[in-house]
Amino acid sequence: MNKIIRLSFIIALLVFASQYAQAQCRVTNTAFKSGEKITYDLYYKYGIINAKAGRGTLTTTSTNLAGKSAFKTRLLANTSGVVGNMYTVNDTLTGYVDTDMVPLLFTKETFEGSDYATEKQSYSYNNGTVNVRAIRYWKGKLSFDEVVTTNKCSYDYVSVINYARNLDFSNMKPGDNTPIQFLSGKTIVNMYIRYMGTKKVKVNNGKTYDAVQLSLMIIDKAFADQEEAMSVALTNDLNRLPLVIEIGLKMGSMRVVLKDYEGIRHPID
């Protein structure tokens, strides 16, 4: 009987540890729902070049992944016209999170210039740890296939946007940081979501919105130098719609500006 009790106790501990790994990632989603679609104009900047470059979309739908109810969020960015002829960008980033915003899967297909790469990050939660299988192919050749292990919740390029949209900024002051872990390829880096305050932002539907300004800062191993990985302006309302996203590329940078939206969770005045 004592062996059965001990075994039951060990199993209970393992289950609790596994649940704890996921619990620290859990966030109540109040910002978006399935069916949301946001359309963007893209602008490319490199040196003296600063021109409209194409269109992008950010869509969220409900799906089922490995038996779990999940949100699938896909970011498409495609250059066209003069900029597209000069420097092609055709990127597809797809992130899956469960209904508690826990990251499950991330895939990335990038065509930038003459470079082509695909990535996949699969998340599993076991015995108090987060295991992420990270795979990258570069121009059709395997670059790496490794399992990254951590005891903290880690985010990718898409799930971090969903997470940021559900943060509470009401008591934050400009410069306040929310620390998170971010997975870039096979490398876990420390990151801050830095609250930069609010401002008015005019976008390409002709309207001006009150916006929350965020800067996603990567911190190096020495926790001294900082590098901005992405900046995001969100509507300062319950939707937290991404209005403007700025992302660094291998050559230059991309600015994503809202053009239109549909299927949002909360009405906007």
Q: What are 107-130's pLDDT values in tens digits?
A: 999 887 778 899 999 999 988 789
Structure confidence at residue 82 as a pLDDT band (50, 70, 90): low
What residue spans define the domains of the chain? 2-262
The three state secondary structure string of the chain is CHHHHHHHHHHHHHHHHHHHHHHCCCCCCCCCCCCEEEEEEEEEEECCEEEEEEEEEEEEEEEEECCEEEEEEEEEEEECHHHHHHCCEEEEEEEEEECCCCEEEEEEEEEECCEEEEEEEEEEEECCEEEEEEEEEECCEEEEEEEEEECCCEECCCHHHHHHHCCCCCCCCCCCEEEEEEEECCEEEEEEEEEEEEEEEECCCCCEEEEEEEEEEEECCCCCCEEEEEEEEEECCCCCCEEEEEEECCCCEEEEEEEEEECCCCCCC
Structure confidence at residue 75 as a pLDDT band (50, 70, 90): very high
Q: What are 167-188's pLDDT values in tens digits?
A: 999 899 999 999 999 888 898 8
Compute the average pLDDT of residues 54-75: 94
Compute the average pLDDT of residues 87-99: 88
Structure confidence at residue 2 as a pLDDT band (50, 70, 90): low
pTM of the predicted protein model: 0.84
| Lowest mean per-residue pLDDT among 8-17, 189-198, 210-219 | 8-17
